[in-house]
Structure 1
Amino acid sequence: MKKFLLKAIILTGLFSNVYGQDLNQAPGNYGLTSVIDGAVPGPGFYLMEYASYFSGKVQDFDGNNVKPNGTDELEINTFLLLNQGIWLTNQKMLGGNLLFDLLIPIVNLDTNDPYDLVGKSGLGDIVVGTGIQWFDTKLFGLSFPNRLEFDFILPIGSYDDEGGTKPINASSKYFSFEPYWASTLFFNKDFSMSLRNHLTFNGKYKEISNTEVQVGINYRLNYSFEHIVGTSVNLQLKVD
């Protein structure tokens, strides 16, 4: 009989600053799912919900707050509700279990007055993926479940830049392919450490007339340290 697990995880992050870059940062997982990332209970279907809040002032390379109109600082506020469904099958492959993954983000975007730079909130770019989960692996004699997954970020979310006047949208409007490897090392029943290594290949952004912009390839690492302090409470120290 297939298992069904409904798991609600509320992760709220409040950040004070956003630093400018040459190009827009590629979409992706920047730590939202870091808790015990490599471990899954067993074959079955899992539904998870993640919530994240962001509020910050946009800064230039020198750390100065950006003032597009020369007077008022630009602040961006976002709320993300990420819906994830994982089907971990009984089908064996390379010593592990074949899995399928689906992520559907819902995004609300806002900028401070007097700016009106948001094109569309709503559906974000959907992620579909497949991979292999290993349960019985060991590292230094310790339990070391891990997963290799290949994700496709589909640029089908809400977007309308209104001729370039509203550059902040729920969708990136370019395709990305992202293989990653996630793992969790259990030191004992209460302490663990999780890692996720991403390598993201990004397509071209073509929404500007006669212009093609490409973020290119980027690598990033999410990691966290976890300690169970009770039967229903998990403390996490995370750096991404």
Structure 2
Amino acid sequence: MKTKIKLLSVCVLGSGLLGVEPAQAYDLPVVNLGLTSFLDGAPPAGPGWYFQEYFQNYSANRFRDQNGKALGLPKQELDYQVAVTQVSYFSDIRLGNATLGMNAVLPFVTSMDVDDGLNNAAIKAQSGLGDLLLGPMIQFDPIMGPDGPRFAHRIELQVNVPTGKYDNKHGINPGANAWSFDPYWAATYWFTPKWTASVRAHYLYNGKNDDPGPEFGGADDIQAGQALHANFATEYAVTPQLRLGINGYWLKQITDTKVDGHEVSGRREKVWAIGPGAMYSFSKDDHVFLNAYFEQDVENRPDGSRVQVRYVHHF
């Protein structure tokens, strides 16, 4: 699934009157960092409708600058919870050795709490509906081995539609107020029938936000830089129902953010994370995932951890 979700675009405002060291905004929209993990390259039960629900908690106690150092705020605490609803359809329409499908994702930020130690004078946040994500996709037939599938993969052309809640007076918004193009390639390889490895690799291109906040000095627009990001996972079936493994994600911004068309250096973001995961299959049509992630080497982003529960049902 995609799942680029504009949950966090932290804009930290500097003010000499408040005794706060001036700090920059964090520009990238929040993307699919760890929402998908095991067996990502193929639907677990073939063509048809899929319903997925995600519940995620993210907690951070540091906002990092371009050198990976904590920002100069009295407190740096961020906690949010988000529910993400996804509906996917894999059709019977064939294109060579592949099946065509469609994906739709809608996040809802149920709770957003931030504490800057200044009664939220530097950072304000709001919850609400996020941006709608849509994407056509093509699922290639698995390459089979003597004991079952050996390799399966999928391509999706994902678009973020800026329909979510946004207010430029808030540094943290559910909506991005800018469209994005975030295509991906997802693949799974079976080392054995019980042991697999999966990867999902994205390229992110962001459009312009034509209503930036006052921290941009009255600019007419801001365009976040391009980025690469990926999820990766490996797991082993310890029983026919239970799989245990390791999951992670990685993000690196590869071009500078532009303000009124001019590149601004020192704002590129990066992070990677790793943690344990589990998947339990009640049947071939019902699965539950539990994933945890602990972030490392963070620059120009919040630095924290996330825990997620995901339910998948195939109709």
* TM-score, normalised with respect to structure 2: 0.63
Mapping for residues 127-142 of structure 1, pairs under 5 Å: 127-137=133-143
Give the Cα separation in 2 of the matches to 1:224 and 1:102.
23
Residue 270 of structure 2 corresponds to: none
**2:264 is the alignment partner of 1:235:** no
Aligned residue identity for 2:63: V
Q: Which moved more, 1:20-29 or 1:226-235?
A: 20-29
**2:203 is the alignment partner of 1:199:** yes
Give the Cα separation in 2 of the matches to 1:194 and 1:235.
14
Give the Cα separation in 2 of the matches to 1:234 and 1:101.
26
Residue 91 of structure 1 corresponds to: 93
Match of 2:35 among 32, 36, 42: 32
Residue 67 of structure 1 corresponds to: 72
Residue 156 of structure 1 corresponds to: 163
Residue 17 of structure 1 corresponds to: none
Number of aligned residues: 215
Tell me if the contact between 1:23 and 1:215 (Cα under 8 Å) persists in the aligned partners. no
Give the Cα separation in 2 of the matches to 1:22 and 1:167.
8
Aligned residue identity for 1:134: F
**Once superposed, what is the RMSD of the aligned Cα atoms?**
2.3
* TM-score, normalised with respect to structure 1: 0.81
Structure 2: tracts of 5 or more residues without a match: 1-22, 213-217, 250-315
1:213/1:36 CA distance change after superposition, 3 Å: same
Give the Cα separation in 2 of the matches to 1:218 and 1:151.
14
Identical counterparts, % of pairs = 29
Secondary structure at the aligned position of 1:144 is classed as strand
The structural deviation recorded for 1:63 is: 3.6
Give the Cα separation in 1 of the matches to 2:167 and 2:125.
5
Residue 58 of structure 1 corresponds to: 63
Residue 106 of structure 2 corresponds to: 104
Residue 49 of structure 2 corresponds to: 45
Tell me if the contact between 1:21 and 1:61 (Cα under 8 Å) persists in the aligned partners. no
1:167/1:235 CA distance change after superposition, 3 Å: same
1:30/1:21 CA distance change after superposition, 3 Å: farther
